[in-house]
């Protein structure tokens, strides 16, 4: 999953996006100059969200090339199991908080477009379906 996230390129990926029916998500917030330090979250849950919100443009590997402004809490507290089997509780802010919420939404059957108006969602889905029919979004060949 981590390699797929890097190849996309993206900053997060949830297992259902790659056909894995497990509650696993990965995130990477390091800049290109920094050493890679992916976060693997197994069975993540959001324990708390801040009252303060931020609006920012979000995209998704499920809808390549499409972005929408989404309002989300600017900070969250998450609990998850890491790869060592340890339970981790962490407060995330800004981009990490946004990414965690986005990926946990995937694990709960929700997409980023579920956070926009019905009209905007309908237009985006219609456009994306046209692109699919035209062969614009094809899987990368190995």
Say if CB 12 and CB 104 are below 8 A apart: no
Pull the structure tokens for residue 82: 């890491």
- 55 among known catalytic residues: no
Q: Which of 3, 32, 89, 103 is catalytic?
A: 103
Q: What string of DSSP letters covers the chain?
A: -HHHHHHTT-SEEEGGGGT--SSEEEE----TTSPP--EEEEEEEEEEE-S-EEEEEEEETTEEEEEEEEEEESEEEEEEE-TTS-EEEEEEEHHHHHHHHHHHHHHTT--GGGGS-HHHHHHHHHHHHHHHHTT-S-PPP-
Catalytic residues: 103
């Amino acid at each position: 999953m981590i390699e797929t996230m890097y190849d996309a390129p993206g900053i997060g990926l949830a297992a259902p996006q790659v056909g894995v029916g497990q509650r696993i998500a990965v995130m990477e917030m390091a800049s290109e100059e920094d050493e890679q330090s992916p976060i693997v979250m197994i069975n993540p849950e959001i324990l708390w969200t801040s009252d303060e919100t931020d609006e920012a443009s979000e995209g998704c590997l499920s809808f390549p090339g499409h972005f929408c402004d989404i309002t989300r809490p600017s900070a969250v507290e998450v609990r998850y199991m890491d790869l060592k089997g340890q339970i981790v509780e962490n407060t995330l802010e800004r981009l990490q908080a946004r990414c965690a919420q986005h990926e946990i939404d995937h694990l709960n059957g929700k997409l980023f477009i579920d956070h926009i108006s019905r009209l905007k969602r309908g237009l985006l889905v219609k456009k994306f379906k046209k692109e699919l029919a035209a062969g614009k979004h094809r899987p990368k060949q190995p």
